[in-house]
Amino acid sequence: MSALLEKTETDAPRAPGILTILRETGPSVRCLLVCAFVNQAGAFVQAFLVLFLVAHGVGASQAGLALAAYGLGSVLGAVLGGDLADRIGQRATIVLSLMCTAWLTVSLGFLGSPAAYPALIAVVVANGAISQTYRPAAMAMLASLVPDDRMLMSYSIYRTALNLGAVIGPLIAALLLTVSWNLLFWVDGITTLTCGLVAMRFLARAAPVLDAGEPAEDESAERPDAGPGYRALLRDGRFVLYLLAMFASALIYMQYFSVLPLTLRSENYSRAVYSAVLALSAGLVITSELFITSRVQRWRTPYAAGGGILLLAAGLAAYGPRAGLTLLFAATAVGVLGQMMSGPTMFAHPLRVAPSGAGGRYAGAAQAMFGLGCAAGPFLGVLVWHQVGAGVWAACGAVGVLAAVAAVIALSSGRPEPLWRYRIRPRAAQAGRVTELEEC
């Protein structure tokens, strides 16, 4: 049987590194990366919507409902964006999403009063939906622009651009709020509009690459193939299992932001401790994800995804026993390492297995399930925390183990073989060591 573990450089070509990929990417890929960063840095609506409404006289419960409406729109938008990307094309969907989002975002600044609340809800749902149609199309386009051996690293670079934008965005927003709320929405809208214009200009000559060194046709001349619909997707058993793993991992991941602060407060830790945990998490992701991915890309995808989710589950489960700050920060580091191991692999998977003409829908389904897990996570986590207290972290660990098993099965090709059929046998290579799992 072929090797299940990583091969050395003497057995397989070495995967391209970070600098090589950045140096050799075309203008369309660079456009996607820049738009990801700028758009995320200027995305203030979700983070500041509740504060904006409360500051303008809207009740706290109504403000929370508006935020939930935005989340619902985001889930629907991911599904819609996947369908549009496959029907009208990826570039058209990206440009349409960015242009419409810019207009809707600026409109929100005029709907802050309690009297305009019904109209605000409608615009918030539309904003959440239209803004998220961008992501499946961008993921599908990125997959079409890079060869298979660079897909995982390219997705990691894309995620890093998003994370950098997410870190810088709140700092920009804090400065804008010292002037006015309206400026916040205008800057958000202008940056989104700028991304749309840049996408219209630089994505026009996108050239999909199917393999390294193979010339591709001009995407501007490409006629989108509608491909199989969502009903056919739901008949793909392995992919449905992948979607469940994606939902479950998002569900437990959200406990960093919902249950962890409640746990720390109940244990009399200061707000500074929670802030330090978030800073550690963000710092590790920004500084280390590309390095981790450069190593993980040589692994088989089931083990990269499943192992990463297991580490995330272990990190969350370690929050349960009260053992001081050392365990708190160590558990955070373990969980973040798991996210960095599994994240690029999990998000790249839909475009690796999607049938022809269905890449947008597969990416949209993955984004929708991740968004659904992020929306349901805080509610379910707080509910369980009120019932069992610190036992919620053991529950997170158990859900994470199930998600890891589901990911390993879903990302495996062919029929899974039981472990007892294999034995580990070392084999000498010409200039290195290789360990294989050989069939008994």
Per the model's pLDDT, the better-predicted residue between 251 and 153 turns out to be 251
Structure tokens at 226: 């509608």
Same domain, 185 and 257: no
What single-letter DSSP state applies at residue 434?
Answer: E
Phi, psi of 13 (to 5 degrees): -60, 140
Q: Are residues 73 and 142 in the same domain?
A: yes
Q: 107 lies in which domain range?
A: 1-224
- Of 178, 203, 224, the last residue of a domain is 224
The total of other beta-carbon atoms located within 10 Å of residue 242's CB is 25
Q: Give yes or no: residues 198 and 248 share one domain.
A: no
Give 8's DSSP letter: P
Of 176, 75, 87, 187, nearest in space to 131 by CA: 75
CA distances to 100, 144, 240, 359 from 244, rounded to whole Å, are: 31, 25, 6, 18
Interval 310-363: pLDDT, tens: 999 999 998 876 767 888 889 999 998 988 888 888 888 887 777 777 778 888
Q: Do 186 and 237 fall within a single domain?
A: no
Instruction: Give the DSSP letter of residue 307.
Output: H
pLDDT tens digits for range 12-53: 455 555 666 666 677 788 888 888 888 777 676 767 777 788
H-helix or E-strand containing 302?
A: helix 301-317
- Mean pLDDT (the chain) is 76
The CATH number of whichever domain residue 376 belongs to comes to 1.20.1250.20
pLDDT in tens, 85-112: 888 888 888 889 899 988 988 888 888 7
- Partners of 436 in beta bridges: 425
Q: pLDDT digits over 128-182, tens only? A: 888 888 888 888 888 777 777 777 777 778 888 887 887 777 778 778 877 888 8
257 by DSSP, 3-state: which? coil
Boundary of a domain, candidates 165, 199, 224 = 224
Say yes or no: 58 and 117 in one domain.
yes
Q: Are residues 209 and 70 in the same domain?
A: yes
Which residue carries 């990302």 as its tokens?
411
Q: Are residues 24 and 154 in the same domain?
A: yes
DSSP 3-state assignment of 10? coil
Whether residue 252 contacts residue 396, with contact meaning beta carbons closer than 8 Å, is answered with yes
Provide the greatest CA pair distance for the chain: 76
Please identify, among 180, 197, 224, the residue that sits at the C-terminal boundary of a domain: 224
Same domain, 351 and 261: yes
Yes or no: say if 425 and 3 are a contact pair by the CB < 8 Å rule: no
Among candidate residues 403, 364, 378, the one with its CA nearest the CA of residue 75? 364
Q: What's the half-sphere exposure (Cβ side, CA atoms, 13 Å) at 336? A: 20
Which of these ranges, 65-79, 165-179, 238-252, has the smallest mean pLDDT? Answer: 165-179
Assess contact for 48 and 184: CB atoms under 8 A. yes
One domain for residues 436 and 406: yes
Domain count, the chain: 2
Structure tokens, 344? 């690029």
Chain centroid to CA 51: how far? 25
The b-or-e profile of 280-309 (16+ CB within 10 A means b, else e) is: ebeebbeeebbebbbebbbbbbbbbbbbbb
| 147 and 76 fall within a common domain | yes
Half-sphere exposure of 233 (CA within 13 A, CB side): 25
Helix runs in 203-269, H state only:
230-234, 237-253, 259-266
Same domain, 27 and 128: yes
Q: How confident is the model at residue 229 (pLDDT cuts 50, 70, 90)?
A: low
pLDDT exceeds 50 at position 205: no
Q: Which of helix, strand or coil describes residue 119?
A: helix
Q: Which two tokens stand for residue 211?
A: 């393999």
CA-based nearest residue to 397, from 353, 331, 340, 341? 331
Share of the chain above pLDDT 70, in %: 80
Residue pair 329/349 in contact (Cβ under 8 Å)? The answer is no
Residues 237 and 205 in one domain: no
